[in-house]
Chain A
Amino acid sequence: MSAIRSKGALIPFQAASGGLMILIVAAMAFLACFALAGALGTTRIASTWTEGLAGAATVRIDANEDDRARRTSLVLDILRDTEGIADARALSERDVADLLTPWFGGTPDLGELPAPGIVAVTLDIENEPDPTVVQARLDGAGAGAVYDDHGRWRGKAARAARAIGNLSWWALGLTALAIAASVFLVISIAMVAHKGTIEALRLAGAEDRFVANLYQKRFFWLGALGGLIGSGFALAAFVGLDALSSVRSALPMIDAPYYWPIAWLAIILACALVAVLAARLAVLATLRRRG
């Protein structure tokens, strides 16, 4: 008998409201992708900065040209004799000039700049020395040098990245909340239109969860489709940005394409699950309110 269709047909859902729901979820999913990119990207930045600066230190030697060679040699002796320091190497004038190039342009003439001497230190990551102890040893020998393990910068950079990352996660959460609120609103309105049908179902013995399931199924697909469309557009945007090399280096998310399929699927699934959960809560709340 072909007269009996699926359970989904029990509620006369309107195509227009479904289209609107897909549009809302798609827009939210698009924004969620960028929020997720921000969250994952800043986490990577924090980790890159922290790991990049870890295991290394520098010693700055403020000395005039005449005394610099002696003090540099003294500093190298002290450092090589310090436990936890794997290697110490004085940077040549050319190395220092290269470091300054981005700020001064061209190749700066160090003879005209009061540039300090720099010693690059490689630390034993398993056994990093206490910076205050190293500084005390340098001071004790009268080296006139400043030891910097980048701890201050590492901390600041990591804190800044974490703060931006947290904001991105909040943005992601708010996007999910917006989807849930939209579903709640759409269902509350739809249930007014479906009042007679719901009443007939309940009088036929339908439990609240049976009615909720009908809406959940519908909104699962609407959520998943909206998520697919929104994240699809976001993915296209990422691919477009990826093609711009100037943007690529500034967006670590784009620089890590292995994230994309996982993030894409996660967004679609999250949209569907948020829609289902919101649908269930909306239906149960409305049915209980009606008594």
Chain B
Amino acid sequence: MIQFENVGFRYKRGPEVLQNVDLEIPAGSFQFITGESGAGKSSLLRLLYLDSMPTAGRISLFGRDVTTLTRDEIAWFRRRIGVVFQDFRLLDHLSAAENVALPLTVAGVREAAYRDNVTEMLQWVGLGDKMEVRPPELSGGEKQRVAIARAVVASPDIILADEPTGSVDPAMAERIMALFVEMNRLGKTVLFASHDLAMIEQYKLPITTLRGGTVASGKRASGRGAAA
């Protein structure tokens, strides 16, 4: 369960980018977060992957108030959260396989134990033949799929995706959406941020709309989401 109670957030001394956000996302649900550019979608996800702490209110994650977490606990919590960033954040000096293996490597899993898992994951996203290719040699869509494989390889409880279809063509966007729906079917909680309302509305899944840093409208997700 993810719970936001009256959450506010600002970057240093800047204006509040999130104000009075109340949100409740049950475990195993699929939730779209939408809104125009600057509405606060990325900031909301940023709070969820614990890159920043709320400047007001309370966020409860896995039953803990995130502001009480130690640095080590933050690291352990992040291992339970897979993130697909808008800008991918792949490491250019590592191969696609090494990028995908990153969450397992930092968790101390031995290569022999995750080798097959990484291979399978890259095959799942259609990049089985590009395992040794480095990100600069991959297309935008391929990078996106590597980022998705990295986000899910350690089987996290929560998957956060920030505009994961923003830089790919419609066919690839549909394929990527299918991957997230599949992950949700496997029991993962998925938060999918996108400003592409037309694409979102194709799926009968809960949508929270942000406007000017506040929740403008939202359907409370209940239990596991179902794909259209």
Contacts and interface: CB of A to CB of B under 8 A. Distances in A.
B197 interface: no
B96 A202 contact: no
A2 B98 CA distance: 10
A202 B79 CA distance: 10
Contact of B97 (A3, A199, A207): A3
B95 interface: yes
Contacts of B72: 207-208
A2 B89 contact: no
B86 to A, nearest CB: 13
Interface string B98-122: 1001110111000100010011000
Nearest to A199: B89
A113 interface: no
B105 A10 contact: yes
Query: Could you say which interface size class chain A belongs to?
Result: 20 to 34
B49 interface: yes
B95 A205 contact: no
B83 A3 contact: no
A43 to B, nearest CB: 45
Given A201-B106, A205-B79, A4 B115 contact: yes
Interface string A190-220: 0000001101111111111010000000000
B103 A204 contact: yes
Given A202-B75, A204-B102, A3 B131 contact: yes
Contacts of B103: 204-205
A7 B105 contact: yes
B73 to A, nearest CB: 10
B153 to A, nearest CB: 10
B51 A203 contact: yes
Interface of A: 1-5, 7, 9-10, 12, 196-197, 199-208, 210, 288
30 contacts: A1-B115, A1-B118, A3-B98, A3-B131, A3-B132, A4-B95, A5-B98, A7-B105, A9-B98, A10-B102, A10-B105, A12-B93, A196-B89, A199-B89, A200-B90, A201-B106, A202-B75, A202-B78, A203-B49, A203-B83, A204-B106, A204-B150, A205-B76, A205-B79, A205-B103, A205-B106, A205-B154, A206-B75, A207-B72, A210-B106
